[in-house]
Amino acid sequence: MVTREHDVTARRWLQPEAGAGTGSDQAFFRRRRDLVTVAERAVRSLRGQVVQYLDVVDNVVRRVTVDVTDGDERLARLDVVDTTAPFGLTVRELQVATGVAGGLGNQEIAEALQCSRRTVATHLEHIFTKTGTNSRVTVATLLAEHDAYAAPLPAVELVLPATLLSLLRTNPPARPRTTKPRPALIGAVYAAGAGPEVVAMRRGDKLAVTELNARGGVAGRQVEHVALGTTPEGLLDAVEELTARGVDAVVFGNFPLSYARKAIATAAAAGAPVLHSMTGPALSDDVHADPRGLGAVFQVCSTESAYVPGLLRTLPHFGHGRRRRLAVLPRESTFDASIPEQVERHAAAAGWELVFAEPVPDHTRDFSAVVRQLAHAKADAVSLSSFPEPTLRAFLTAAEPLRDRTLVHVAWSPASPGFTDRFRSLSDGLLWSTVIGHVDSPACHAFEQRYRAAYGGEPGLGAAAVHFDMVNVLAQVWSQVSRPWDFAAVRRQLRSVASFGVTGAHQFLGRGQRGLSYPDDTGDPTRGHPHLVYRIEGGTHRRLAPAPLS
């Protein structure tokens, strides 16, 4: 085992429990000529360096050490020692962890190891448990600290230490690698069905990805978009499927709070950033209460607790005589016992009296009893949470006799494309608001034009723009981080940078890493999203507040 100019000394050492055979063990090295080749490469290319890794041939873990002298005529010593894997990892788990450290996604690892993506996801769960982490980048760091990369390496490009790659590649590249970097992968999950709001969300996401790739991607990486539709009951399975694919971020559509909380927590446990625009206060409260476990969750907007204060700011536009009696109908799924007290406090500060505050089931169709109670309470204004359209239609139909003297306010729902066409006369005179939506800006108008050109329809006043912005927020952060799968760095960037989009400024400065609402949370419109209030008149959405922002 002598090259023309350089010597290789190969020795194999066995753990005592493995039996005899210490020393040069020539029979072993005759069988494992590949290990000698590694040492020969080292003696030709390295000087005064030590390289270690784990050999996992025949399902046995061996520590390989190549130590090269720094003299003019270099000598390489090759030691192979039977050992155990760090953290109690199995051979297969070592191979999966090496793929993770090398920058591969779950699908790429599955193809390299010739197994299913779900099998890789299961191995990765075991790796997280055994190493006490939930981050792919931390797994990569631990493998580097323990020199625990598993060889032979799969026949794919890996981002590993250059010295190690030069020794372990079967055919080291003659030129610097020109392989395109792995795409950034966005996973999105939406409510099943083709309702206008869901269609707008999906199209907003898709338009953002299409435009990013047309501009060359993000820092030279293409962006791939995996969108899944699911029922609330299937939401958790959908999220687990996305994390099993090794997505670099998860974007949520709107789901009932009871299902969303567990699914968001599951997505966050994988470490990738999770972005959503759901407004239930419990979601950002969860993040505030558990910043370590839910630190990957970012809410791009304020909460629905801003809606009543926003309504009360707008009501002086309308005359109600001397009576000022307010009723609120919160969603049962997001109702909290503190809501009536909060609303009563806001109402009193604005000179109003809270006369009715009862939660309503999200999907109720019978509002006859509620309407009778509102009539008895002589409410001058009634504010509804963001309800599904069938529920909202049922209320507006039942409440039609009251609307001559009672102003009706709705959160979010009328932002959906074609709302006034579907509701016709029921929508006339309706007051509505949203804490995130279109702003009157050149960027907003340009987005609307591109959306119409791409899809031949209107984007509506909220959902499409919000999801378009969420993708671009991720893209901006990824452009500043060397690897999209460096989740810790991505989370730090999301917390520290500001970006501006169709819906205004994105900064996660609110309680529980949520966006700010202007003027509810901040008096500076460049730090958040304007709390938009509209009135529908003759099928047209007329903006009442705030004043147009440049």
Q: DSSP assignment of 25-58, as one string?
A: -HHHHHHTHHHHHHHHHHHHH-SS-EEEEEE-GG
Percent over 70 (pLDDT), the chain = 91
Number of Cβ within a 10 Å radius of residue 20: 8
Number of Cβ within a 10 Å radius of residue 126: 16
Q: How many CA atoms lie within 13 A of 100 on its CB side?
A: 32
Q: Which alpha helices (H) appear in 60-195, and where do they start and end?
A: 91-101, 106-113, 117-131, 136-145, 162-168
Confidence of residue 548 (pLDDT cuts 50, 70, 90): low
Which pairs from 208-213 meet CB under 8 Å and 24+ separation? 208/467, 208/468, 208/469, 208/471, 208/472, 208/475, 209/471, 210/454, 211/450, 212/471, 212/472, 212/475
Q: 388 and 362 in contact (C-beta within 8 Å)?
A: yes
The pLDDT assigned to 237 comes to 95
Cβ-based neighbours of 111, under 8 Å, separated by 6 or more: 156
Q: 514 and 284 in contact (C-beta within 8 Å)?
A: yes
**pTM of the full predicted structure?**
0.71
Q: Which residue did the predictor score with more confidence, 394 or 153?
A: 394
The pLDDT assigned to 118 comes to 87
Q: How many CA atoms lie within 13 A of 89 on its CB side?
A: 29
Cβ-based neighbours of 151, under 8 Å, separated by 6 or more: 53, 54, 55, 56, 64, 168
> What distance in Å separates the CA atoms of residue 87 and residue 93, rounded to the nearest whole number?
10
Task: Determine the average pLDDT of the residues in 521-546.
Answer: 93
What is the token pair recorded at 91? 């051979």
Q: How many CA atoms lie within 13 A of 450 on its CB side?
A: 17
Strands 7-13 and 325-329: unpaired
Q: 79 and 36 in contact (C-beta within 8 Å)?
A: no
Confidence of residue 176 (pLDDT cuts 50, 70, 90): very low
Strands 532-537 and 431-434: antiparallel
> What distance in Å separates the CA atoms of residue 527 and residue 509, rounded to the nearest whole number?
9
Percent over 90 (pLDDT), the chain = 67
Evaluate if residue 95 carries a pLDDT over 90: yes
The pLDDT assigned to 120 comes to 92
Confidence of residue 133 (pLDDT cuts 50, 70, 90): confident
The pLDDT assigned to 190 comes to 96
Write down the mean pLDDT value for the chain. Answer: 89
The pLDDT assigned to 448 comes to 95
Q: How far is CA 523 from each of CA 125, 464, 516, 519, rounded to the nearest angstrom? A: 45, 26, 10, 5
Least confident of 147-156, 199-208, 311-320, 463-472: 311-320
> What distance in Å separates the CA atoms of residue 250 and residue 515, rounded to the nearest whole number?
17
Least confident of 101-110, 320-329, 530-539: 320-329
Task: Determine the average pLDDT of the residues in 144-170.
Answer: 87
Peptide linkage before 86 cis (omega within 30 of 0): no
> What distance in Å separates the CA atoms of residue 228 and residue 94, rounded to the nearest whole number?
31
Evaluate if residue 126 carries a pLDDT over 60: yes
Q: How far is CA 506 from each of CA 286, 300, 432, 482, rounded to the nearest angstrom? A: 20, 7, 23, 22
Q: 373 and 400 in contact (C-beta within 8 Å)?
A: no
Strands 499-501 and 504-506: antiparallel
* Chain-centre distance for alpha carbon 468: 14
Nearest to 283 by CA among 46, 513, 50: 513
Determine the length of the chain: 550
Q: 186 and 226 in contact (C-beta within 8 Å)?
A: yes
Least confident of 70-79, 406-415, 457-466: 70-79
Confidence of residue 166 (pLDDT cuts 50, 70, 90): confident
